Amino acid sequence: MMVMTGADEHGAPGRNRPWPLTLPTGAALIILAELLLVIDVHLRGGAIVPYQPLNQAVGSLQIISRWVAVNITPVCWIGFLLMMDGLLTALARPRSRRPEAFGSPARRRPRRFILCFLVSVPIWLFFDWVNFSFLDAWRYHGLPESLVHRYLGYFLAFGAICPGMFLTTELYQQLGLRRLRGPRLVFRPVQLGLFFVLGVAFLIFPFIARNPAGSLTLWLAPVLLLDPINHALGGPSIVGDCRTGRWGRMVALMAGGLTCGLLWEFWNYFAAAKWTYNLPFLGPLEGYRYFEMPLAGLPGFLPFGIATWDAFQLVVTILRKVGINIAEPLPTEDTIL
């Protein structure tokens, strides 16, 4: 049994070292936001959609609670990033081997974390563009009328998508999934080429379908399309992991995507500014929901974690290929962020 007597040389918290401040700060921010959201829901009579403007003299508590209800997604996700940073830092332990693989990536590799936050915005904007231009599979409601307010909310919420999933994935890795091993899969060049072609086809399908059914292939397309490219460029990839029998990163990314998906939907349901789904191709299954998300759509969060990771790794790899070494390199072969 390992007994911690103090902080180790890699910054792991010891018995006499206080827990990272970001952990209680993030948790308190989420709890406070949820309490204010409950107040706003009560004051609007339990209404979920649409957004009801405050058009009369109201008290300061109602104004504050409505502001939180409008901004619940960026507020909770910033709180979540802080909480995960603190949790990953607190879970770090003295390691005789590869201590650099443990702890919070936000502290160990801050430039990579910041780049991930920035790249997360255009990654999600791509999915939004496909949806609002061709699919109409999800819709936004109650967005702030002020463009400054609206776009700042977009930036914070969209920027937190990838870091939130990747920090959650790191947690699963540090809890043991990094040790998950499976059979070594042999991928020949022709097979990787077929993955790429299938990824292109999956990506084209939403533009051809031009209806919500196109979302069936939207989330898997980047995995099939980008992962072989990452592997060919010598960057981190799921193909490379499976070739060496390392299955932990793939499973952890799927778990991270699903975990964050469940939280997204939970925090979204009672928000005053929120999204809803339009998936008529599911038929009767559309009525069975986890908050706003049809249960049949939840599996889409599994490849979403991998897809966004592949997209981010491709950006980092390309930047490095052209001599722009902004992001610190991954310290080990199973690190996420």
The pLDDT > 90 percentage for the chain reads: 82
- pLDDT score, position 96: 41
Tell me how far apart the alpha carbons of residues 17 and 82 are, in angstroms, rounded to a whole number: 18
Tell me how far apart the alpha carbons of residues 336 and 123 are, in angstroms, rounded to a whole number: 17
Q: Which CA distances in Å does 69 have to 5, 42, 87, 177, 333?
A: 44, 11, 26, 36, 41
pLDDT in tens, 32-87: 999 999 999 988 877 665 555 655 546 788 889 999 999 999 999 999 999 999 99
Q: Give the model's confidence band at 11: pLDDT under 50 very low, under 70 low, under 90 confident, else very high.
A: very low
Does residue 5 have a pLDDT over 90? no
Mean pLDDT over each residue of the chain, to the nearest integer: 90
What residue spans define the domains of the chain? Answer: 100-137+144-321
Region of poorest pLDDT, from 98-107, 115-124, 202-211:
98-107
- pLDDT score, position 8: 41
- pLDDT score, position 48: 67
Find all residues with CB under 8 Å of 306, minimum gap 6, and list them.
Answer: 223, 227, 238, 250, 253, 254, 257
Q: What is the pTM of this model?
A: 0.91
pLDDT in tens, 97-119: 555 667 899 999 999 999 999 99
Find all residues with CB under 8 Å of 192, minimum gap 6, and list them.
Answer: 228, 231, 232, 239
Q: Give the model's confidence band at 92: pLDDT under 50 very low, under 70 low, under 90 confident, else very high.
A: confident
- pLDDT score, position 12: 43
